[in-house]
Structure 1
Amino acid sequence: MKIIEHSYSADLAWVEPFAKQFEGRVEGNFIMVPEDSQSGTRYFLECEEGIIAYYINVTYKKNYHLIQKNINKDFVGFYYNLTDGEASVSGDHFRYDVGRWQYNLALIDSTLESTYVVKSGSKTFALCIFIKKSLLETYAKRNNIEFENIEKIVDPKINTMIRFDRMSNDSFHLLQDLRKLKVGGPVFDLNLVGTVHMLISNFLKKIARNRIIIQTVNKTDLANIINAQMFLVENINDHFPSIKVMANKANMSESKFKNLFRKITGETPSIFFMNNKLLLAKELLEKKQLTITQISDQLNFTNNSYFASKFKAHFGISPKTYIKQL
């Protein structure tokens, strides 16, 4: 496995060193990597001062362990990742597979160190957006997005920006439309800039609708919350454990655990658990190997009616109707 330590930033200072780490070179806006390491495209663009887009559509031919340690701490990264294959994000004491919980969007503060491990044969289509924190307040106002305490949200002394999420259908389709275009040139650049602005706007509008928890997050707290998520997913067939049990496992008070969990995932622990239980139920229905009753029993729903009501509330369709449409 090839280990590469690198950094990003909301300017283009990271590009040349990054290319050299991959034993590659920069040609125009392309990062050219040797064919024995990967095939495909890496493309970067300064959308405007303080906003950088990094477009990746590659197939890896080697195992990589990418360690991100940012030199500049003044930006936040939006990572839209549609990897098909084995890839994971990790920190000092946590690890999660990309897409495992349908997470394909991460908002990660530049103050946090992270690791990306990807296996040979994996296909990655991703768009990374690096934006200076100081621009977020201006950006929100320019797009009429009302944030409560926006000045506190972007203040690194009192808040760490961190969120693992699922991209909206609109964002997914924006990326798919961009993917159809030939990379490079004025037409692609125009579409890339437009996509970047729409993705940022979509995400900011989404998080602005919810209460944002102003709080710094250290590596240990982040690891404990992600490990708590892993515990919930690994025990998805059971009933939801109490907040007290989860907080004890995370070595936190109940109030701190609930606040941090919601800050990082955008959901309460119980909603996170139920949403993932329903996603698994949907996958089981699609396999057509179990009946609705068997799935309800396997996932420990109280009864079929309760399962059906939760499923319909989440997906807008009953399990019975969903099966008929498959």
Structure 2
Amino acid sequence: MKEINHYYTLTSEWHNALAKQLGATVKNNKLLCLPESIGKGHSLFLEVVPGLSALLLDIELSVPLKITRLEGENDLRIFHFDLSDEVNSIQVEDSIYPIGYTANLGFAMTSNDVENTHKYDTNKRIYSLRLIVDRELFDPILEDLNKYENNKDTFNQKALYFSDYIDSNSKILLYSIKNKSILDNAFDFHLKGISLSLLANFVNRYAKSTTVSRYIKESDLERFRNSTQYLRDNLKDKFPGVPYLAKKAEMSASKYKSLFQKIEKTTPYIYFVRNKMLLARKLIKSGSYLSIKEVVCELNYKRKDYFSVRYYEYTGRKPSADFVKKK
């Protein structure tokens, strides 16, 4: 196993130092190309705006790799979004945490003053986006989020590690990057815009749910959450309809729709389809089906052409471009 130690800064100096350890080349002071002796792929480092930088990692290793981020002198927050094909792990002090979309914990946040270690296996695609943020810029926002009842000091500055699932809005943003070529002329601009949107979405996500709790009974909120969990657990079925969901939540349909809009900032149907398309992409890439038609049937769609339109609408790709046929 190859072992690498590095540190983070808001500028590219750390990225260039990492390249030297890996025996890699860096193009245009931003694109690190992995040497064939280790694997294939790249990492892209960009300074987005003052106080915010982004690191995009897209690699497949031929040798196991252990990367330790050392405690840094700069006061930074690291936001980690992981869409890797398999579950990876992060070690923070004596604790090991799973990270990755398939672990349902694709988002993590930690601080630069706490050392952590990533271990990566071979022959699988590792794909993640990390936002490196100046704590002076972002910690006042976290302090405001901590004041909301539901967060209960979730973002305490002393916390070593925080993880959660990646919400559907953020997944759509991340897939819009994953589906683009890093060699596109406009890719840098796109990545900068997505980075800002992800931070804004983070704030909205944790502020909106806590704000609602100030005005809604906890019993109503709990039943509402159970209903959205029901939707996520039954994505292979047809949309059950607002009346059915409202009945499960023990409230009127109008109250349920209003509450859904306040909490999720969308309609129950769009929320369901977004998550259904994320599942569709997972199934299509799973290598478990002989044809796309089988996936269409699995997800309770009658027409392949209608499914294809919805899939493209939410992923930006045709199903045929992602399909992995069962061997």
Q: Same fold (TM over 0.5)?
A: yes
Task: State the partner residue of 1:83.
Answer: 84
Distance 1:316 1:197, change over 3 A: closer
Distance 1:208 1:61, change over 3 A: same
Quick check: 127-136 or 35-44, which moved more? 35-44
Distance in 1 separating the partners of 2:170 and 2:299 = 28
Query: How do residues 132-211 of structure 1 correspond to structure 2 at under 5 angstroms?
Result: 132-136=134-138, 147=145, 159-160=158-159, 162-184=161-183, 186-209=185-208
The one-character-per-residue Cα deviations of 1:134-189 (angstroms, maximum 9, x if unpaired) are 11168x59xxx964669xx8x99x64473201111111111111122221465111
Distance in 1 separating the partners of 2:248 and 2:97 = 30
Quick check: 74-83 or 171-180, which moved more? 171-180
Answer yes or no: is the 8 Å Cα contact 1:86–1:118 preserved in 2.
no
Task: State the partner residue of 2:57.
Answer: 56
Count of residues in Structure 1 that have an aligned counterpart in Structure 2: 231
Q: Is it true that 1:325 corresponds to 2:300 in the alignment?
A: yes
Answer yes or no: is the 8 Å Cα contact 1:64–1:118 preserved in 2.
yes
Q: Is it true that 1:7 corresponds to 2:43 in the alignment?
A: no
Could you tell me which of 119, 124, 139 is aligned with 1:117?
119
> Partner of 2:186: helix, strand, or coil?
helix
Q: Is it true that 1:25 corresponds to 2:25 in the alignment?
A: yes
Give the superposition deviation at 1:60: 1.3
Letter in 2 for 1:84: D
Distance 1:309 1:119, change over 3 A: farther
Structure 1 gaps of 5+ residues are 213-270, 287-307, 318-322
Give the superposition deviation at 1:83: 1.1
The one-character-per-residue Cα deviations of 1:61-101 (angstroms, maximum 9, x if unpaired) are 11011111132341101111111135211233222332364
Distance in 1 separating the partners of 2:138 and 2:87 = 33
> Partner of 2:42: helix, strand, or coil?
strand
> Partner of 1:325: helix, strand, or coil?
coil
Answer yes or no: is the 8 Å Cα contact 1:53–1:128 preserved in 2.
yes
Letter in 2 for 1:187: A
Answer yes or no: is the 8 Å Cα contact 1:11–1:49 preserved in 2.
no
Answer yes or no: is the 8 Å Cα contact 1:76–1:161 preserved in 2.
no
Distance in 2 separating the partners of 1:91 and 1:163 = 11
Letter in 2 for 1:122: K
Distance in 1 separating the partners of 2:58 and 2:32 = 12
The one-character-per-residue Cα deviations of 1:219-267 (angstroms, maximum 9, x if unpaired) are xxxxxxxxxxxxxxxxxxxxxxxxxxxxxxxxxxxxxxxxxxxxxxxxx
Letter in 2 for 1:325: N
Give the superposition deviation at 1:201: 0.5
The one-character-per-residue Cα deviations of 1:9-46 (angstroms, maximum 9, x if unpaired) are 22223111111121212211211221121212211111
Distance 1:42 1:65, change over 3 A: same
Distance 1:198 1:324, change over 3 A: closer
> Partner of 2:13: helix, strand, or coil?
coil
Distance in 1 separating the partners of 2:207 and 2:39 = 38
Question: TM-score, normalised to structure 1's length?
Answer: 0.59
